[in-house]
Amino acid sequence: MSFVNIWVHVVWGTKRREPLLEKSARYDIFYHIRENAKAKGIHVDHINGYVDHVHCLISMNAKQDIATIVQALKGESSFWVNNKTALLKHRLQWCEDYYAVSVGASGLDAVRAYIRNQEAHHGKKTFEEECEEFMRVYGFEQMLE
């Protein structure tokens, strides 16, 4: 038997970075994403976000890949919001792109704290600024050259 546990911090935004995730609905959406993930065998350790994006800390096993996981979480959650609830005033669409980086065991607590504190964090920094920093810190800018 193989033992695999890969931690990934995933971030995705709303289409055109529209501030659709109203506080009154945000936590219901995040709860639903976590429950849907659990039903599909995806372990979402932490989830939170702000008006225009979501952060997830996910633990992957040997049979999972990040693209399939993210598609499952984004696709089902927008379908649920748009067709099964009246949580939002506007149609929820996620942008196609996402960021994902691995997290070592020693960094888990820091990522969890970062995810938990999204509202305070975004009182100081926009999602766009966060994305630019993410691109620079994790070397994604080099991949675009």
Nearest to 71 by CA among 95, 104, 45, 103: 95
Higher per-residue confidence, 5 vs 95 = 95
Is residue 137 scored above 90 in pLDDT? Answer: no
Domain assignment of residue 103, yes or no: yes
Domain assignment of residue 137, yes or no: yes
Number of compact structural domains in the chain: 1
Is residue 94 scored above 90 in pLDDT? Answer: yes
Domain assignment of residue 45, yes or no: yes
pLDDT given for residue 68 in this prediction: 96
Mean pLDDT of the region 98-107: 95
Whether 6 contacts 59, CB under 8 Å: yes
Work out the mean pLDDT of the chain and round it to a whole number. 91
Domain assignment of residue 75, yes or no: yes
Nearest to 122 by CA among 9, 8, 19: 19
**Percentage of residues in the chain with pLDDT exceeding 90?**
75
pLDDT given for residue 112 in this prediction: 97
CATH code: domain of residue 54: 3.30.70.1290
Residue 70, CA atoms < 13 Å, CB-side half-sphere? 21
List C-alpha distances in Å: 98 to 14, 47, 56, 134, 140: 10, 15, 11, 11, 12
Nearest to 101 by CA among 68, 61, 52, 134: 134
pLDDT given for residue 88 in this prediction: 94
pLDDT given for residue 136 in this prediction: 83
pLDDT given for residue 42 in this prediction: 96
Residue 92, CA atoms < 13 Å, CB-side half-sphere? 27
Structural domain boundaries, residue 43 = 6-144
Domain assignment of residue 1, yes or no: no
